[in-house]
Amino acid sequence: MVATSTLKTKSSECISELVDRRYDQACIEKELDFWDHCVAEPQRNADVTEDRTSQQLAKMFENCLSRAKKTTLHCSSVLVPEKLTRRIAREVLRLASCEPCGLRGCVLYIHLELDKGCKQLERIVYDATVVPTFELTLVFKQDGTAWPSLRDFLFMGTCFAPTFRHVLKLSPGFRLVKKKLYSSSAGTVVEEC
């Protein structure tokens, strides 16, 4: 069923036509109630969809960090500041909002800035069926104020490699770099948060 502004909601004529086509009347009324709600409050529905997408992105960042802790970062745990991944997700959605395909046209590179430089953690293509229109590079930052724990000093040089860190703490700051792929005149946007 398609919701349009010209549809007369719950009119007996409309319902009887659908009942004649062997649709269940209770199901029809529920469907019409749903579309009435969508037409009446389009902004609220957009907010719900954006919030759901933001939560999915935040979860994607958390999963990336979880996978990287053993393979790339060589640590037993990564401490992420509260709401950091949600803040990043909102910023990513904001930067994607003015793109032709939105978030679906995004290729996302995730890095971690360490003392010795940057490490690439992952490359994510949000929707592989869409030709990418822009790239975002997310750079997590290590918390430089964190003191190494006593456990890290005890383990160093014994049973773990010298590059092993027991706990890696991320800073609440991050950097997002946006590069448009479809326009040679468009510059690169760097956002430091």
Q: Is residue 61 part of a domain?
A: yes
Q: Is residue 40 part of a domain?
A: no
Residue 180 backbone zone (phi > 0: left; psi -120 to 50: alpha; other: beta): beta
Q: Is residue 7 part of a domain?
A: no
Q: Is residue 8 part of a domain?
A: no
| CA separation for the pair 115, 168 (Å, rounded) | 12
DSSP helix/strand/coil, 104: helix
pLDDT at 62: 92
Q: Which of 88-97, 115-124, 136-145, 174-183 has the highest mean pLDDT?
A: 88-97
pLDDT at 84: 94
Name the residue among 120, 57, 66, 119 with its Cα closest to residue 90.
57
More confident residue, 1 or 71: 71
Q: How many domains does the chain have?
A: 1
Mean pLDDT calculated for residue range 83-111 = 92
User: Tens of pLDDT along 150-171?
Assistant: 445 545 544 545 555 578 899 9
Q: Is residue 183 part of a domain?
A: yes
Which tokens go with 89?
A: 């997700």
More confident residue, 71 or 153: 71
61 pLDDT band, cuts 50/70/90, is: very high
Which of 30-34, 57-61, 62-66 shows the lowest per-residue confidence on average (mean pLDDT)? 30-34
Residue 9 confidence (pLDDT) above 60: no
- pTM for the whole thing? 0.65
Q: What is the CATH number of the domain that holds 108?
A: 3.90.470.40
Residue 149 confidence (pLDDT) above 90: no
Q: Is residue 99 part of a domain?
A: yes
104 lies in which domain range? 45-156+165-192
Q: Is residue 111 part of a domain?
A: yes
pLDDT at 40: 54
Q: Is residue 66 part of a domain?
A: yes
Which of 73-77, 94-98, 127-131 shows the lowest per-residue confidence on average (mean pLDDT)? 73-77
* CB of 136 closer than 8 Å to CB of 176: yes
What are the residue ranges of helices labelled H in the chain?
12-20, 25-40, 42-71, 84-96, 150-155
